[in-house]
Amino acid sequence: MLLISVLTGVALSQMGKAGEKIAHGVNLVGSVFFRIIGIIIYTAPIGTFGAMAYTIGAFGISSLVNLGELVGVFYLTSILFVIVVLGVISHLLGFSIFKFLRYIREELLIVLGTASSETVLPNLMRKLETLGSSDSVVGLVVPMGYSFNLCGTNIYMTLGILFLAQATNTHLSWGQEATILLISMLTSKGAAGVSGAGFITLAATLAIVPDIPIASLGLLLGVDRFMSQCRALTNFIANGVITLAVARWEDELDQPKLLRRLRAGPAKAEDPLLEATA
């Protein structure tokens, strides 16, 4: 899909005025899809309420305890991934992961509310450029990361399948667990989309374990909204850190500017006066 998009953009740029008309039509179609996404985001809480009502009605109130434990384990795993794995990467790059989280805190709140990192894509790109990463690296790595660097979705899919295996009393061998991990790493690359797209990808991935009934996905439907928030946050943070890592790797990162911006914080870092004196 990404290759087709690039080729289409190159072809349109070579078509002159006709390409401009087609690009304008594509922009109009894109506006329609953004309106559709807006409707989905606004009505998502109603869908979450219905999913929880179905889960409780079908499996009883006691099912909430196990589902709550699953959500807790998922959040704990994601937090450890951000602090330990991304924290080590940030330390090697010369900055603190906690200062980076403070710098993007406004975007994190938006992602938390919408359960989708797509809503803050322009903000992330702007802030990474402000931190000293070149616009060429940001323009390539961030959009690509939204399709291929979905760490939170990968964690969600592996935990979700293991939970369903335990819930249905399905024994998994070490070989099957390794296969689930590898397949999840691949299928998660195509899970980018609106809020809840990871659940659809999980349903497709579950096909590799035919012993687990596909109907068991109904168990996760009620809490998918809460897990979607966490996986979107994890994906968003990972994309930001990895973009800075690629910029450092390519010598396209202004290290003193990065440290100065993180030390100043988001409000001061975007001050025009500070920009003029930088």
* Per-residue model confidence (pLDDT) at position 98: 93
pLDDT at residue 252 is higher than 80: yes
> To the nearest whole number, what is the mean pLDDT of the chain?
80
Residue 52 lies in a domain: no
In tens, the pLDDT along 188-226 reads 665 555 555 666 677 777 776 677 777 677 777 777 778
Do residue 15 and residue 63 come from a single domain?
Answer: no
Residue 43 lies in a domain: no
* Per-residue model confidence (pLDDT) at position 64: 77
Residue 50 lies in a domain: no
Better-scored residue on pLDDT, 256 or 182: 256
Per-residue b or e along 233-263, where b marks 16 or more CB atoms closer than 10 Å to that residue's CB: bbbbbbbbbbbbbbbbeeebbeeeebbbbbe
pLDDT band at 267 (very low <50, low <70, confident <90, very high): low
How many separate domains does the chain show?
2
CA distances 163 to 49, 166, 208, Å, are 22, 5, 15
Do residue 71 and residue 185 come from a single domain?
Answer: yes
Do residue 8 and residue 89 come from a single domain?
Answer: no
Residue 66 lies in a domain: yes
Least confident of 51-65, 123-137, 140-154: 51-65
Do residue 147 and residue 11 come from a single domain?
Answer: no
Do residue 13 and residue 136 come from a single domain?
Answer: no
Do residue 138 and residue 207 come from a single domain?
Answer: yes
Do residue 24 and residue 107 come from a single domain?
Answer: no
Residue 276 lies in a domain: no
In tens, the pLDDT along 161-196 reads 888 888 788 887 787 778 777 777 776 665 555 555
pLDDT at residue 144 is higher than 90: no
Residue 44 lies in a domain: no
* Per-residue model confidence (pLDDT) at position 269: 47
In tens, the pLDDT along 6-52 reads 788 788 888 888 888 888 888 888 788 778 767 766 776 777 677 67
Residue 46 lies in a domain: no
Give the residue numbers spanning the domain of 20.
1-36
Here the CATH number for the domain that contains residue 232 is 1.10.3860.10
Residue 274 lies in a domain: no
